[in-house]
Amino acid sequence: MADSLLEVRRVRHELRRRRVQVSRVTRLSPHIVSITFTGADLAGFTSASFDDHIKLMLPAPGTSELVLPELGPDGPSFPEGAPRPVMRDYTPRRFDAAALELDIEFAVHGDGPAATWAAQARPGQEVGIGGPRGSFLIPEAFDWHLLVGDDAALPAIARRLEELPAGKRVIAVLAVAPEDRRELPTKADVAWHWCEPSGLVDAVRALKIPDGAGYSWAAGEAKAMAAVREVLVGELGLDRSRVRAAAYWKQGAPGHHERIE
């Protein structure tokens, strides 16, 4: 396979912030809620990769006022003394440009401000979103794809499975509690490995890696993802340039998001 077909690329997008309103709320499982946002500000929204993230902005605690940053040459800024919104990173699960609808999925089994807000979300409530600032494009042409994650990564993994072509070989290792496991639509040829969150690293260690050129993507809790990357590169011998791991959250550290090298 030509190397040019397997080139991983980064693209940048115009940074914008948008006001949107809750259109509907759908319970996907006992602890996963999908919220659909709509609004004229979604015109021109772009999300080119399944692991993009937007900045969700919620009213500051104790107020219903939503203050969004102004975007200037020196970056985002807020009016002096204005209540700053709570900001968290989330995956754009689905965007319908014609209907101007954006779906975001929330895990609501925690007590953080975003999970608490999502658990009570009702149509008409207003939030802000910023980004995505850019996209990391992983070609579909790899012979196989490994997708590893917990429930925080489930929206990105579900989106990737929908986007991959029919027959594409995929290994999916999903650390999700039994009550929140659900069918994820795909045309790809998927080998499913569901496990408890505590068993994620061992489940990855037990994998038989296919022949051919593959790409491994993993996201979830920081400590677990560091261990997963070490297994993939250090124990299973995968090329580190074809392994991408990210911490979507960190135990005891609110609002954590980082790439794991």
Q: Give me the residue spans of the domains in the chain.
A: 10-134, 139-260
Residue 85 DSSP one-character state: P
- In the predicted structure, residue 78 carries a pLDDT above the cut 90: no
- In the predicted structure, residue 1 carries a pLDDT above the cut 70: no
Q: What is the pLDDT of residue 56?
A: 97
Non-local (6+) Cβ contacts of 82 within 8 A are 67
Q: What is the 3-state secondary structure (H, E, C) of 146-188?
A: EEEEECCCHHHHHHHHHHCCCCCEEEEEEECCHHHCCCCCCCC
Contact 176, 151 (CB under 8 A): yes
Confidence bin at 2 (pLDDT 50/70/90): low
Contact 216, 196 (CB under 8 A): no
pTM, two decimals, is 0.94
Confidence bin at 73 (pLDDT 50/70/90): confident
Q: What is the pLDDT of residue 16?
A: 93
In this prediction, what percent of the chain has a pLDDT beyond 90? 83
- In the predicted structure, residue 90 carries a pLDDT above the cut 80: yes
The pLDDT tens digits of the residues spanning 19-46 come to 999 999 999 999 999 999 999 999 999 9
Confidence bin at 261 (pLDDT 50/70/90): low
167: alpha, beta or left? (left if phi > 0; alpha if psi -120 to 50) = left
Q: How far apart are CA 167 and CA 169, in angstroms?
A: 6
In this prediction, what percent of the chain has a pLDDT beyond 70? 98
Domain 10-134 shares a fold with domain 139-260: no
Q: What is the pLDDT of residue 94?
A: 98
CATH 3.40.50.720: does it fit domain 10-134? no
Tally Cβ neighbours within 10 Å of residue 26. 11
Confidence bin at 238 (pLDDT 50/70/90): very high
Q: Which long-range contacts link 190-195 to residues 24+ away (Cβ below 8 Å)?
A: 190/161
Fold type of domain 139-260: Rossmann fold (3.40.50)
